Structure formats: structure tokens, C-alpha cells
């Protein structure tokens, strides 16, 4: 568990460096959205922001390790013909073709959104009031709200990808002593890569959308 958490912590060094750069930099009106802004860490004392990153990374590492242990426990019960509910059965069987596709499908959807944003005009945010009846302030407020939703979605996908990456690392460690885990490793790696790619593509979309919202004067 400590090993997995350490591997995850090494990956957040770049985010900590970006926090430091954002903290020391002079804020410009037309600046691009930093990674820290995308994960709501662009304000507040740098010490607290760094602690938040470390806690999140450690929690993802622990969660990934616990998922592997839960898989081993439920797989043993399944082998002993213990009755399991559908969710427990899904966890017991591990990664398969049925579970590795969501991340890749999400990545494709986010990629289409990136292309649409870069090659088309920014559409007014949806609302109860018709677009032509909204004031400039209402349009900008709608864009800010939409940007906030995109950032929340990015944080959720990022955490999901981090947990699945930690689960993959823990599985690689456990496969030498667990043949059941060894048989599911290709699907486990493919599943984790799907969520990582989805998080990266969504980050590109959020960054591009933030830049466009800022260009339009909404931020």
C-alpha cells in the first residue's frame, strides 16, 4: 500500500510545481488556464494547496490497493460458490472486455468536444431564457457556470483515473502470487489507460474552453 501511494505521490510533483509557479506569477487578464485552476487549486495558501494534493494522491493510492484486496477476497468467495450480488460478482471477476470500454468511449467523446471547440464558434450556454433575450452579463455568467461544471467533471475523471492507475500498480505487484489477477492484467492495464487518456483529453478540453471563456471576457 505504501509503495502504491509513493508512486502516485511522485506523479503529483508536477502539479505541486505548477501550484508554486501560479503562486509566484503575476496574474494577467488574458492568461491561459493553469492546471491548478482546472482543479480549483489556484487560490489560497500554497501550503494548504500542496497538502490537498498530497492527501488526494495518498487517498487514491490507498483506494486502488483496497480495491485489489477486495477483488481477491470476492474472487475467493466466488470460487467457493458463495452467492454474490451483481456488483460483487463484477468486482470478483476483475477487468474484462465488459469493463475496459467506458474510459475509451469517454475519451472519444471528449476528443470530439475539443475538435468542435477549436474549429467552431463558442456556443451560448443553455438556459431558460432565450439567447437573444439574455444580456451580456447573463451570457458571461452562463459561460462561467459552464466552465465550473467542466472543471468539476475534470476533477471527478482525474480522481477516477488516479484510483484505477493505483489499482493497476497494486495488481502488478500482486500478480506474482495471484494467478487470477495475472489473467486479468491485460484488461486491467487497458482499462486504466482508457481513464488516463480520458482525463488528459478532458483536461485539454477544459483548458481550451477556459481560454475561450477568458477571451470573451467572462473571467
* pLDDT tens digits, 105-162: 999 999 998 998 888 766 666 666 666 677 778 888 888 888 999 999 999 999 999 9
Report CA torsion sign: 155, 211, 137, 27.
positive
Q: How would residue 102 be classed by pLDDT, with cut points 50, 70 and 90? A: very high
Cell numbers standing for residue 218: 467572462
Q: Average pLDDT of the chain?
A: 82
Kindly state the percentage of the chain with pLDDT values over 70: 79
C-alpha 198/C-alpha 96 separation (Å) is 19
Indicate whether 177 pLDDT > 90: no
Say what the pTM is. 0.78
Cell numbers standing for residue 148: 465550473
> 182 φ, ψ to 5°?
-60, -35
Indicate whether 1 pLDDT > 80: no
Choose among 196, 28, 201, 7: nearest CA to 100: 196
Q: Residue-wise over 116-153: b if at least 16 C-beta within 10 A, else e?
A: ebeeeebeebeeeeeeeebeeeebbebbeebbeebbee
Indicate whether 30 pLDDT > 70: no
Kindly state the percentage of the chain with pLDDT values over 90: 42
The single residue listed with the C-alpha cell 502516485 is: 8
Neighbours of 183 (CB within 10 A): 11
Report H helices in the chain.
2-11, 13-24, 35-38, 46-79, 86-93, 101-119, 136-174, 179-215
Q: Where are the domains of the chain?
A: 2-215
Greater confidence (75 vs 19) lies with 75
At residue 34, the pLDDT reads 74
Contact 15, 53 (CB under 8 A): yes
Q: How would residue 10 be classed by pLDDT, with cut points 50, 70 and 90? A: low
| 219, HSE (Cβ side, Cα atoms, 13 Å) | 21
**Mean pLDDT score, 158-174:** 95
Amino acid at each position: 500500500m505504501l509503495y502504491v501511494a509513493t508512486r502516485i505521490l511522485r506523479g503529483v510533483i508536477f502539479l505541486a510545481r505548477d501550484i508554486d509557479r501560479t503562486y509566484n506569477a503575476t496574474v494577467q487578464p488574458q492568461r491561459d488556464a493553469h492546471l491548478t485552476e482546472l482543479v480549483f487549486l489556484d487560490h489560497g495558501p500554497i501550503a494548504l494547496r500542496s497538502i490537498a494534493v498530497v492527501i488526494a494522491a495518498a487517498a487514491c493510492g490507498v483506494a486502488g490497493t483496497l480495491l485489489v484486496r477486495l477483488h481477491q477476497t470476492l474472487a475467493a468467495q466466488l470460487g467457493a460458490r458463495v452467492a454474490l450480488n451483481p456488483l460483487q460478482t463484477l468486482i470478483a471477476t476483475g477487468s474484462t472486455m465488459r469493463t475496459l470500454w467506458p474510459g475509451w468511449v469517454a475519451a472519444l467523446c471528449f476528443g470530439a468536444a475539443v475538435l468542435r471547440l477549436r474549429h467552431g464558434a463558442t456556443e451560448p450556454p443553455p438556459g431558460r431564457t432565450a439567447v437573444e433575450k439574455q444580456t451580456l452579463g447573463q451570457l458571461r455568467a452562463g459561460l462561467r457556470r459552464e466552465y465550473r461544471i467542466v472543471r468539476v467533471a475534470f476533477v471527478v475523471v482525474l480522481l477516477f483515473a488516479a484510483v484505477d492507475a493505483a489499482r493497476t500498480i497494486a495488481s502488478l505487484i500482486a500478480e506474482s502470487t495471484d494467478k487470477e489477477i495475472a489473467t486479468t492484467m491485460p484488461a486491467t492495464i487497458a482499462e486504466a489507460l482508457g481513464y488516463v487518456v480520458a482525463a488528459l483529453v478532458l483536461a485539454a478540453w477544459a483548458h481550451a474552453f477556459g481560454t475561450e471563456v477568458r477571451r470573451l471576457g467572462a473571467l
